[in-house]
Amino acid sequence: MSKQSRLLEEERRKVNFSVEELTNIYDGGVEQTEMKRKVEAAIHNDPECRCKDVGMMTREERFNDGMRRTIHLNKVVFPREGWNAFSKELDYVLRNIGKEFCLGIHTGVFLPCILSFGSDEQIAKWLPLGAQLQIIGTYAQTELGHGTFLRGLQTVATYDKASQEFVINCPEISAMKWWPGDMGKSANHALVMAQVVIDGKKYGMHPFIVQIRDLTTHMPLPGITVGDIGNKVGFETTDNGFLHFNKVRIPRENLLCKNSEVKPDGTYVAKTKDKMVYGSMVRLRAIFLEGEVVSALGKACTIAVRYSLVRQQGELEPGKPEVAVMEYMTQQKKLLPYVAMTYATHFACLKLKKMYNIFEQKVKEGDLSGLPELHALSAGMKASVAEQCTDGIEILRKSCGGHGYSNASGIPIIWARAVAGCTYEGENTVMYLQCARYLVKCYNQVQTNRLHGTVAYLNNMNQSTCRVNKANDFQQPAVLVACFQYRAREVIKSVAMKINHLTKNGYPNHEAWNKCSVELVNVVKAHITQYIVATFASVIDELSCSPPVKTVLLQMCALYALENITLYSGDFLKVGYLSPKQCDLALEAELDLLSCLRPNAVGLVDAFDYSDDLLQSCIGAYDGNVYERLFEWAKKSPLNKTEVHEETYKYLKPYLHAGRDILEGKTKSKL
Ligand X SMILES: Cc1cc2nc3c(=O)[nH]c(=O)nc-3n(C[C@H](O)[C@H](O)[C@H](O)COP(=O)(O)OP(=O)(O)OC[C@H]3O[C@@H](n4cnc5c(N)ncnc54)[C@H](O)[C@@H]3O)c2cc1C
Nearest Cα neighbor of 466 from 456, 455, 481, 454 is 481
Q: Give the Cα separation of 113 and 111 in Å (integer).
A: 5
Span interacting with ligand LCNEECSX, options 158-166, 221-229, 296-304, 429-437, rule CB under 6 A: 429-437
**Closer residue to ligand LCNEECSX, CB minimum distance, 299 or 306:** 299
CA distance 481 to 408: 40
Stretch 371-390 residues interacting with ligand LCNEECSX (CB under 6 A): 371-372, 375
Angle (deg, nearest 10), helices 329-364 and 547-567: 100
Angle at which helix 411-418 crosses helix 295-310, to 10 degrees, equals 160
Q: Are 450 and 459 in contact (CB under 8 A)?
A: yes
**What is the DSSP-derived secondary structure letter of residue 110?**
I
CA–CA dist 86, 108 (Å, integer): 10
Residue 240 partner contact from ligand X, ligand LCNEECSX, none using kind-dependent CB cut-offs of 5 to 8 Å: ligand X
Single-letter amino acid code for the residue at 79: P
Among 58, 134, 148, 225, contact with ligand X (rule: CB under 6 A): 148
Q: Which stretch binds ligand X (CB under 6 A): 60-68, 261-269, 419-427, 615-623?
A: 419-427
Residue 424 interacting with ligand LCNEECSX (CB under 6 A):
yes
Find the binder of ligand X among 215, 430, 543, 656 (CB under 6 A): 430
Closer to ligand X at the Cβ: 373 or 387? 387
Minimum CB separation from ligand X for residue 189, in Å? 14
Question: For ligand LCNEECSX, what does the binding mask look like between residues 110 and 149, x meaning CB under 6 A?
Answer: ---------------------x-x-----x-xx----xxx
Is residue 288 part of the contact set for ligand X (CB under 6 A)? no
The least distance separating ligand X from the CB of residue 205, rounded to whole angstroms, comes to 11
Tell me, residue by residue from 160 to 189, as one string, x for binding to ligand LCNEECSX by CB under 6 A and - for no binding: ---------------------x--------
Nearest CA among 477, 492, 480 for reference residue 525: 492
**What is the CA angle 461-347-542, rounded to 5?**
75
β partners of residue 269? 261
Encoded one letter per residue, x for contact with ligand X by CB under 6 A and - for no contact, window 97-126 reads --------x---------------------
Q: Which residues are annotated as a binding site for FAD?
A: 142, 181
Distances from the Cα of 435 to the Cα of 151, 197, 447, angstroms: 19, 31, 20
Q: Which of 55, 112, 147, 620 binds ligand X (CB under 6 A)?
A: 147
Q: Are 556 and 603 in contact (CB under 8 A)?
A: no
Mark the segment that binds ligand X (CB under 6 A) among 33-41, 120-128, 133-141, 499-507: 133-141
CA distances 13 to 7, 383, 599, 620, 668, Å, are 10, 39, 9, 18, 65
How near is the Cβ of 110 to ligand LCNEECSX at its closest, in Å?
10
Q: Is the dihedral of CA 270, 271, 273, 277 positive or negative?
A: negative
Among the listed residues 87, 145, 158, 278, the single contact to ligand LCNEECSX using CB under 6 A:
278
Amino acid in position 123: I
Query: 3-class DSSP state for residue 473?
Result: helix
Residue of the chain from 380, 426, 620, 624 that contacts ligand LCNEECSX (CB under 6 A): 426
Quick note: the x/- pattern for ligand LCNEECSX over 484-523, rule CB under 6 A, is: ----------------------------------------
Q: What phi and psi values does residue 609 have, to the nearest 5 degrees?
A: 70, 40
Residue 300 vs 371, nearer CB to ligand LCNEECSX: 371
Q: Does 519 bind ligand X (CB under 6 A)?
A: no
> How many Å apart are CA 477 and CA 534, to the nearest integer?
8
Instruction: Compute how many other C-beta atoms are within 10 angstroms of the C-beta atom of residue 647.
Output: 9
d(CA 565, CA 577): 11
* Residues composing the chain: 671
Q: Does residue 477 bind ligand LCNEECSX (CB under 6 A)?
A: no
Q: Half-sphere exposure (CA, 13 Å, Cβ side) for 553? A: 30
The 3-state DSSP class for residue 158 equals: strand
**Catalytic residue (choose from 11, 292, 425, 490):** 425
Give the up-direction half-sphere exposure of residue 218: CA atoms within 13 A in the CB hemisphere. Answer: 10
Total residues at the site for ligand X (CB under 6 A)?
21
- Among 110, 126, 159, 235, which residue interacts with ligand X (rule: CB under 6 A)? 235
- Selection from ligand X, ligand LCNEECSX, none that 282 binds (CB < 5 to 8 A by kind) is ligand LCNEECSX
Q: Which is nearer to ligand X, 277 or 557 (CB)?
A: 277
73: partner contacted, choices ligand LCNEECSX, ligand X, none (Cβ within 5-8 A by kind)? ligand LCNEECSX
The CA distance from 319 to 327, in Å, is 16
Output 439 or 537, the one with its CB closest to ligand LCNEECSX: 439
Distance, in Å, from the CA atom of 450 to the CA atom of 636, rounded to the nearest integer, reads 64
Residues 87-116 that bind ligand LCNEECSX (CB under 6 A): 94, 101, 103-105, 107-108
Nearest to 51 by CA among 61, 66, 67: 66
Binding residues: 142, 181
Nearest residue to ligand LCNEECSX on Cβ basis: 108
For residue 216, with 0-12 CB atoms within 10 Å meaning exposed, 13-18 middle and 19 or more buried, which class applies? exposed
Query: Should residue 420 be labelled a site residue for ligand X when binding is judged by CB under 6 A?
Result: yes
Which of 430, 456, 461, 518 contacts ligand LCNEECSX by CB under 6 A? Answer: 430
Residue type at 134 in one-letter notation: Q
Distance CA 600, CA 613 (A): 24
List the single partner that 429 binds among ligand X, ligand LCNEECSX, none, CB under 5 to 8 Å by kind: ligand X
- Work out how close the CB of 266 gets to ligand LCNEECSX at its nearest, in angstroms, rounded to a whole number: 24
Residue 600 site contact among ligand LCNEECSX, ligand X, none (CB < 5 to 8 Å, cut-off depends on kind): none
Q: Which of 23, 24, 70, 155 binds ligand LCNEECSX (CB under 6 A)?
A: 70
How many CB atoms lie under 10 A from the CB of residue 80?
10
Report d(CA 470, CA 278) in Å as an integer.
49
Helix (H, G, I), strand (E, B) or coil at 340: helix
Among 83, 242, 415, 424, binds ligand X (CB under 6 A): 424
How many Cα atoms sit within 13 Å of 572 on the Cβ side? 26
Question: Which region, judged by CB under 6 A, interacts with ligand X, from 121-129, 146-154, 565-573, 614-622?
Answer: 146-154
Q: Is residue 563 a contact point for ligand LCNEECSX (CB under 6 A)?
A: no
Q: Which residues of 190-206 are buried (b: 16+ CB within 10 A; e: fewer)?
A: bbbbbbbbbeeeebebb
CA distance 328 to 346: 27
| Residue 60 appears among annotated catalytic residues | no
Residues recognised as catalytic? 425
Enumerate binding residues for ligand X (CB under 6 A): 105, 139-142, 146-148, 179-181, 235, 240, 420, 423-424, 426-427, 429-430, 433
Enumerate binding residues for ligand LCNEECSX (CB under 6 A): 70, 73-74, 85, 94, 101, 103-105, 107-108, 131, 133, 139, 141-142, 147-151, 181, 275, 278, 281-282, 288, 292, 371-372, 375, 424-426, 430, 434, 437
